[in-house]
Amino acid sequence: MKNRSYTTRQFVLSGLFIVLSAWSRAHDHPHAHTDWAPTPFAEALAHAPTPLPDRVVLTWADDPTTTQAVTWRTDTSVARGVAEVAVAVDHGPALVASNTDATTEKLVSDLGEAHYQGVVFRNLIPDTLYAYRVGDGANWSEWFHFRTASREAKRFSFIYFGDAQNDVKTHWSRVFREAFREAPRAAFTLHAGDLINRAHRDAEWGEWFGAPAWVNASVPVVATPGNHEYGALTAEEGAPRVLSRNWRPQFAFPENGPSGLEETCWYLDYQGVRIVSLDSNRMQEEQTSWLRRVLAENPNRWTVVTFHHPLFSPARDRDNAKLREAWKPVLDEFKVDLVLTGHDHTYARSGVVDPRIRVGTTNVAKGYNQVYDPTIGSVYVVSVSGPKMYDLSSDDWAVRAAEDTQLFQIVTIDGDELRFEARTATNVLYDGFTLRKRGKGEPNELIELLPAETRRKRQPTS
């Protein structure tokens, strides 16, 4: 028995020596593999789920002061998900956590099957730091932190992104990470649609989750759908465009909008601000009366509205006249403070423009000489964070505009002031302004903080 064991050991060591010798010779001679060429790693493998939680993302489905939603993905071997949450402490092993069973939803994507697990933590203490983790009881994520909102109108910032859409891993990830470096204590990130390019492509969603990585699990996501979040499920001509099959399993947004627009048209209140998401892709008329009611019943000092298609486009052939006719009278009536959009892959922001320099635009509603109306005070922004770019062709209404520039925006609300900064991918300040509240019912005061840089134009290609 001893002799055979020794012989086996010799055989194993001899084989290992041969393998190591071959590896050494290959690396000593760099031309040994001149016929080698890299091959793309299969998407189905690169984005395959496992029993370990991934794509962990915080959102809100209810009151941000006392609840927090979290969603994550596993493979289908995980039949039951669970989440643990505890008030954060300075010594991790001392966490006293409570368990919450997750709901489980099966998603069949173009790359295969997965389970999406979801939990809404409830009865939380306002303005409190919590730690949580998700898993199945044996396979856990790390512990993450989140902070519940204050019941008071307390100072906070959020990060606003226009379309990411294309080359998300390659060219959007650095924009997101630079934004997080600039505002690491942001209360949430706001995405104005077209998070990805093809609605039902799971690999693109995998890249979108990969770019923020763990940040999505600590800084909640607020997102409104763009036209690229809608697409046909089949290649048949005339097949209907439907909301991405990934949207609702992976995000948990409020269901307080019109019937049929669950988790795409909704509102929530955060520390003195009402945030409203409208779905500009469909059922626009149905949202008009709902929007009026939501704004009429708004108890907050500030209102931020987001949707994908801009009411005032910097691209002449992309005018959204019907949308403007439906929604702008309501936004005007309630003097909405800030409207954040995407879609046009440029940057443009309304403000007081000099009529001697800027002539009217075809995208301005009849009866308006310029988009910014000082008797109303609303500011409209179009922005882009991804690499896909369009030409500016109708930006006469904008006080600041840009082509070929990836941007992120930091919005800070502090008492009676809202401060806005647009920053480039290299964190250069490109645009800025402050809105200051006046008396009740009066329009905001707009204070321009424009950097010296002039309007950016597309650079010619060689």
377-404 pLDDT, tens digit each: 999 999 999 999 999 988 888 999 999 9
Confidence grade of residue 456 (pLDDT, cut at 50, 70, 90): confident
Q: Answer yes or no: do 179 and 139 share one domain.
A: no
Q: Residue 228: inside a domain, yes or no?
A: yes
Q: Answer yes or no: do 114 and 238 share one domain.
A: no
Confidence grade of residue 235 (pLDDT, cut at 50, 70, 90): confident
CA 321 to chain centre: 26
Confidence grade of residue 136 (pLDDT, cut at 50, 70, 90): very high
Confidence grade of residue 8 (pLDDT, cut at 50, 70, 90): very low
The pLDDT tens digits for 292-343 are: 999 999 999 999 999 999 999 997 678 899 999 999 999 999 999 999 999 9
- For residue 315, the model assigns a pLDDT of 79
Is the pLDDT at 163 greater than 60? The verdict is yes
Q: Answer yes or no: do 105 and 221 share one domain.
A: no
Rounded Cα distance, 112 and 56, in Å = 19
Q: Answer yes or no: do 142 and 187 share one domain.
A: no
Backbone angles phi, psi at 10, to 5 degrees: -60, -40
Q: Which residue has the higher pLDDT, 426 or 370?
A: 426
Q: What is the mean pLDDT of residues 276-286?
A: 97
Rounded Cα distance, 294 and 49, in Å = 39
- For residue 359, the model assigns a pLDDT of 46
Q: Answer yes or no: do 117 and 224 share one domain.
A: no
CATH number at residue 321: 3.60.21.10
- For residue 28, the model assigns a pLDDT of 58
Q: Residue 41: inside a domain, yes or no?
A: no
Is the pLDDT at 94 greater than 80? The verdict is yes
Q: Answer yes or no: do 429 and 382 share one domain.
A: yes
Is the pLDDT at 150 greater than 50? The verdict is yes
Q: Residue 28: inside a domain, yes or no?
A: no
Q: Answer yes or no: do 138 and 161 share one domain.
A: no
Total domains present in the chain: 2
CATH number at residue 133: 2.60.40.380
Confidence grade of residue 462 (pLDDT, cut at 50, 70, 90): very low
Q: What is the dihedral of CA 435, 438, 443, 445, to 10 degrees?
A: -40
Q: Answer yes or no: do 124 and 195 share one domain.
A: no
Q: Answer yes or no: do 324 and 228 share one domain.
A: yes
Q: Answer yes or no: do 78 and 191 share one domain.
A: no
Backbone angles phi, psi at 22, to 5 degrees: -65, -40
Is the pLDDT at 1 greater than 70? The verdict is no
Is the pLDDT at 438 greater than 80? The verdict is yes
Q: Token pair for residue 353?
A: 């423009």
- For residue 11, the model assigns a pLDDT of 43
Backbone angles phi, psi at 406, to 5 degrees: -80, 135
Share of the chain above pLDDT 70, in %: 87
> What residues contact 230, with CB distance under 8 A and at least 6 apart?
199, 241, 242, 243, 244, 281, 282
Looking at 147, 180, 209, the residue that finishes a domain is 147
- For residue 17, the model assigns a pLDDT of 52
Q: Residue 413: inside a domain, yes or no?
A: yes
- For residue 440, the model assigns a pLDDT of 87
Specify whether the CB–CB gap between 164 and 195 falls below 8 A: yes
Q: Answer yes or no: do 143 and 227 share one domain.
A: no
Alpha helices (H) in 183-266, listed in sequence order: 202-210, 247-250
Please state, rounded to an integer, the average pLDDT across all residues of the chain. 91
Rounded Cα distance, 304 and 235, in Å = 38
Rounded Cα distance, 433 and 406, in Å = 19
How many residues make up the chain in this entry?
Answer: 462
Q: Residue 39: inside a domain, yes or no?
A: no
Domain hosting 182: range is 156-448
Q: Answer yes or no: do 137 and 210 share one domain.
A: no
Q: Residue 23: inside a domain, yes or no?
A: no
Q: Residue 22: inside a domain, yes or no?
A: no
